[in-house]
Amino acid sequence: MTEKEFQRLMERVAEGTASQEEQRQGDAFLASWQTSATWDSARHGSAKEAEVRIWAGITQETELSTPTRSKPRIWWVAASLVLLCTVGYLIFQYATAVPWETVATAAGERKTITLPDGTTVSLNAASEISYPAEFASDARLVKLSGEAFFEVTRKPAQPFTITTEAVTTTVLGTSFNVLAYPEETLRVTVTTGKVRVATAQEAVELAPNEQAIYSYIEDTLQKDTVNAESAQAWRTGKLMLNRLSFTEAIPVLERWFGITITLKEPKIGDCVLVANYQDATLEEVLESLKFILEIEYILDQDKQVTISGPGC
């Protein structure tokens, strides 16, 4: 497919007039592109991640114009790249030769780093952030897995974008928390300023004490009003287990203390917790849960925790 043919195909896709055969050609084009030397999975990510980043770029350029509700075909990613080039949004800046750096935390570890633009990032346990050694002149793009609190240096000419598996968060200068652990509900909570959160299909804007909630299972994005301080309480050593089932609390506890938890009775996972701990040790938390839930636990030398009891 020549460049002119691809441009014409992209125009028909945008107009909704592309035939099934043209869509098939588009599928083949993307497949060949992803297997070519120019597609670097480590930098470009999956096609789904690319689609999310591209949609975020489009919504930014169109000031959150209402998108179609139908999910774009995966090969539309390739067509959108050309569109983004025309509007000058370098969402694929990391396809350049600029080297990228990665900082990660282990379970039970928390860390604060400063990005090249002066932005401060606090990483929660079992998290990872990647960023270019030097940001592009008109965009700042980072990639996150896990949880982090961002205090973004304000630079109106350089929007700051965080990409996760299915959601892109874009700001100019603000502070907010992103919780994006694999296979868990994604939450973006704003403390100061304004934040735009986008999936491949829709976008919402958040003000202070507002939260965007994305469900991987239902592929839905919602907005709610919350206490932003609670979302970032982990930064000061506060472990919050409010209104979590024990099943939901297990990955939180495992990351926080670097342990592995096994339930001998599955019904224990149905128990709902309402508990907060400030600078508590693992033993203090386990003793507290033992009293609250009427459970017994065994903690071995390898930090394996086995919990037994009647359940809820």
Question: Is the distance from CB of 277 to CB of 238 less than 8 angstroms?
Answer: yes
Mean pLDDT of 19-34: 60
pLDDT of residue 63: 40
- Mapping DSSP to helix (H, G, I), strand (E, B) and coil, where does residue 287 land? helix
Mean pLDDT of 281-293: 94
Domain boundaries, the chain: 3-91, 95-231, 237-308
Total residue count of the chain as it appears in this document: 312
237-308 in CATH: which number? 3.55.50.30
Arch. (CATH architecture) of 95-231: Sandwich (2.60)
pLDDT of residue 128: 96
For residue 148, give every residue at least 6 positions away whose Cβ sits within 8 Å of its Cβ, in sequence order, or none: 121, 122, 123, 124, 127, 129, 177, 178
Mean pLDDT of 161-169: 90
Report the range of poorest mean pLDDT among 6-10, 73-77, 122-126, 222-226. Answer: 73-77
Residue type, 204: V
| CA 116/CA 133 separation, integer angstroms | 7
Is pLDDT above 60 for 237?
A: yes
Contacts of 98-105 with C-beta under 8 Å, sequence gap 24+, read: 98/132, 98/133, 98/134, 98/136, 99/132, 99/133, 100/43, 100/130, 100/131, 100/132, 100/133, 101/130, 101/131, 101/132, 101/133, 102/128, 102/129, 102/130, 103/128, 103/129, 104/128, 104/129, 105/146
Q: Compute the mean pLDDT over every residue in the chain, rounded to the nearest whole number.
A: 79
**pTM exceeding 0.85:** no
Is pLDDT above 90 for 156?
A: no
Residue 235 binned pLDDT confidence (cut-offs 50, 70, 90): very high
